[in-house]
Amino acid sequence: MGRNGSGLADIVRKHETELLNAWVKEQLAANTLRLDLLNESEQREQSRRFLGVFREALGRGDAPDVMAPAWGDVRGMLAEISGARAKQGFTPTETAAFIFSLKQPVFARLRQEYAGSAEILVDETWAANVVLDKLGLYTTEVFQKSREEIILRQQQELLELSTPVVQLWDGILAVPLIGTLDSARTQVVMESLLQRIVETGAAIAIIDITGVPTVDTLVAQHLLKTVAAARLMGADCMISGIRPQIAQTIVHLGVELGSVITKATLADAFAVALQKTGASLSRPTPR
Amino acid sequence: MERIPILKMGEFLLVSIQVDMHDRLAMTLQDDLTDRIVKTRARGVLIDISALEVVDSFIGRMLGNIAGMSRVLDAQTVVVGMQPAVAITLVELGMRLTGVRTALNIEKGMELLRNGSGDVNGHGRRQE
Amino acid sequence: MAVVRSDSRPIRSSDDVVAVRQQVRRWAVDLQFSLVDQTKLVTAASELARNTLDHGGGGSARLEALNDGSRRGIRLSFEDKGPGIVDIELALKDGYTTGAGLGLGLGGARRLCNEFAIVSRRGEGTRVTVTKWR
Nearest beta carbon to residue B103 from set A204, A234, A273: A234
Mutation for A interface: C32, C33, C36, most A CBs within 10 A: C36
Smallest CA–CA distance from C36 into chain A, residue = A191
Mean pLDDT over the full length of chain A: 86
Where residue A125 falls (left for φ over 0; alpha for ψ -120 to 50; beta otherwise) is alpha
Smallest CA–CA distance from C40 into chain B, residue = B89
The range of the structural domain enclosing residue B64 comes to 6-126
3-state secondary structure A236-286: EEEEECCCHHHHHHHHHHCCCCCCCEEECCHHHHHHHHHHHCCCCCCCCCC
Per-residue pLDDT of chain C (134 residues; tens, 9 = 90+): 888 899 999 999 999 999 999 999 999 999 999 999 999 999 999 999 999 998 889 999 999 999 887 789 999 999 999 888 877 777 777 654 333 334 558 888 999 999 999 999 888 899 999 999 98
Choose between A278 and A206: higher pLDDT.
A206
The pLDDT > 70 percentage for chain A reads 96
Q: Answer whether residue B38 is part of any domain.
A: yes
Angle at which helices A118-161 and A92-100 cross, to 10°: 150
Cα A24 versus chain centre, distance: 31
Choose between A6 and B30: higher pLDDT.
B30
Q: Answer whether residue B32 is part of any domain.
A: yes
DSSP result, B66-80: HHHHHHHTT-EEEEE
Q: How many domains does chain C have?
A: 1
**Number of Cβ pairs closer than 8 Å across A and B?**
69
How close is the nearest chain B Cα to the Cα of A187, in Å?
A: 10
How close is the nearest chain C Cα to the Cα of B93, in Å?
A: 4
Q: How many domains does chain B have?
A: 1
Q: What pLDDT, on a 0 to 100 scale, did the predictor assign at position A2?
A: 44
Nearest beta carbon to residue B91 from set A202, A229, A235: A229
Smallest CA–CA distance from A156 into chain C, residue = C34
pLDDT digits (tens, 9 = 90+) for A165-215: 999 999 999 998 877 777 777 888 889 999 999 999 999 999 999 888 888
The count of C-alpha atoms lying within 13 angstroms of the C-alpha of C3, restricted to the half-sphere facing its C-beta, is 9
Give the pLDDT band of residue A4 (cuts 50, 70, 90): low
Q: What pLDDT, on a 0 to 100 scale, did the predictor assign at position C94?
A: 65
Q: Does the structure show a pLDDT above 70 at A287?
A: no
CB-based contact B89 C111, cutoff 8 Å: no
Smallest CA–CA distance from A191 into chain C, residue = C36
Q: Where are the domains of chain A?
A: 6-153, 166-276
pLDDT digits (tens, 9 = 90+) for A24-41: 988 888 877 777 777 888
Please tell me whether residue B1 adopts helix, strand or coil conformation.
coil
pLDDT digits (tens, 9 = 90+) for A259-269: 788 888 999 99
CB-based contact B89 C112, cutoff 8 Å: yes
**Total residues belonging to chain A:** 287
Chains interfacing with A (3 or more CB pairs < 8 Å): B, C
Mutation for C interface: B17, B19, B54, B98, most C CBs within 10 A: B54
The range of the structural domain enclosing residue C37 comes to 2-133
What is the distance between the alpha carbons of residues C91 and A192, in angstroms, rounded to a whole number?
A: 34
Under CATH, to which class is A166-276 assigned?
A: alpha beta
How close is the nearest chain A Cα to the Cα of C60, in Å?
A: 33
Residues 36-75 of C with CB under 8 A from B: 36, 38-40, 42-43, 46-47, 50
Q: What pLDDT, on a 0 to 100 scale, did the predictor assign at position C104?
A: 56
pLDDT digits (tens, 9 = 90+) for A115-136: 888 898 999 999 999 999 999 9
Give the pLDDT band of residue A5 (cuts 50, 70, 90): low
Per-residue pLDDT of chain B (128 residues; tens, 9 = 90+): 688 999 999 999 999 999 988 888 999 999 999 999 999 999 999 999 999 999 998 999 999 999 999 999 999 999 999 999 999 999 998 888 888 999 999 999 999 999 875 443 334 566 65
Q: What pLDDT, on a 0 to 100 scale, did the predictor assign at position B2?
A: 80
Smallest CA–CA distance from A259 into chain B, residue = B128
Q: What pLDDT, on a 0 to 100 scale, did the predictor assign at position A8?
A: 87
What is the distance between the alpha carbons of residues A135 and A153, in angstroms, rounded to a whole number?
A: 27
Q: What pLDDT, on a 0 to 100 scale, did the predictor assign at position B120?
A: 36
What is the distance between the alpha carbons of residues B87 and A229, in angstroms, rounded to a whole number?
A: 5
CATH number at residue B109: 3.30.750.24
Over residues A48-73, the mean pLDDT reads: 85
Q: What pLDDT, on a 0 to 100 scale, did the predictor assign at position B124?
A: 54
Q: Answer whether residue B1 is part of any domain.
A: no
CB-based contact A231 B127, cutoff 8 Å: yes
Which residues make Cβ contacts (< 8 Å) with residue A215, sequence separation at least 6? A181, A209, A223, A246, A249, A250
Q: Which residues of chain C does A191 touch, with a Cβ-Cβ cutoff of 8 Å?
A: 36
Architecture of domain A6-153: Orthogonal Bundle (1.10)
Q: Quick one: chain C helix, strand, coil %, rounded to 5?
A: 35, 35, 30
Q: The complex's ipTM?
A: 0.89
Give the pLDDT band of residue A84 (cuts 50, 70, 90): confident
Q: What pLDDT, on a 0 to 100 scale, did the predictor assign at position C68?
A: 83
Q: What pLDDT, on a 0 to 100 scale, did the predictor assign at position B121?
A: 36
